Amino acid sequence: MDGSFTGSRWRRSAPALDADAPRHVGIIMDGNRRWARARGRMPSFGHDVGANHLADVLGWLRVRGVEHVSVYVLSADNIRKRSTGEIHHLFGLIETVLSKAVERAHDWQLHVSGDTRLLPAPARGALAQVVQETRGRPCHLTLAIGYSPHEDIATGIRAALHQGIDPASAEFIGAVSGNLPGGPVKEIDLVIRTGNEQRTSGFFPWQSIHSEIVRSRKMWPAFNEADLDRVLAEYRRRRIRAHSEG
């Protein structure tokens, strides 16, 4: 597998974020299949490496002071449209590799956004176990699994209405945001999309409405620490420019 895990390094105290650094980073992990095919391997190999790589990237973000991360893993459309063999392999990765990757990352509390009823019982159970075991950790990781952007927003709206909040009131928008699944900080500052694609693919549309989107040409399994620093530098450059123009 790509990358190495150095627990002591990841446990270093995270630096305070500067004013132009993102507080909440979103990641669209794209390019697993293309990365594998370029190496003469089956797409499943790319998914294996990509799932394992998440722990590395979480560690890199942690030592840079980022404490809120949302990651697109598997949409409801993916489950419906991809081949049965590929989807079952992804279900297996969620049950084994992905769950263990979160455990390896030490500092991250897991949240899940999406309809986990679309997953088989073993994968659902593995996620529920990690959610329970990581409660109280200082950082927050939200995985979009069985995710539908429309249903995500509808969930927040239904919850706000159930609380009796008037849709015409000034509090309603905040109530919808607060009731969305995921960690405590909802608004995503920076969205990183690997694989050189430009579309957002329905990635947390409510939460990312004010996000900067930065693409990386690297496929997700090849996305390294230097690539992350380049993305963060581009985000800071944009923020500084926005402040100066404002």
- The residues annotated with a catalytic role in the active site are 30, 78
Nearest to 115 by CA among 153, 145, 77: 145
- The residue type found at 162 is H
147: which strand partners? 75
Name residues whose C-beta falls within 8 Å of residue 63's C-beta, 6 or more positions apart in sequence.
9, 10, 12, 14, 15
Q: What distance in Å separates the CA atoms of residue 51 and residue 1, rounded to the nearest whole number?
A: 10
Count Cβ atoms below 10 Å from residue 106 Cβ, excluding itself: 18
Nearest to 117 by CA among 71, 73, 86, 76: 76
Q: What distance in Å separates the CA atoms of residue 98 and residue 71, rounded to the nearest whole number?
A: 12
Tokens of 170: 């000034």
Q: What distance in Å separates the CA atoms of residue 189 and residue 209, rounded to the nearest whole number?
A: 9
Q: What distance in Å separates the CA atoms of residue 174 and residue 136, rounded to the nearest whole number?
A: 24
Tokens 């392999």 sit on residue: 89
Whether residue 223 contacts residue 216, with contact meaning beta carbons closer than 8 Å, is answered with yes
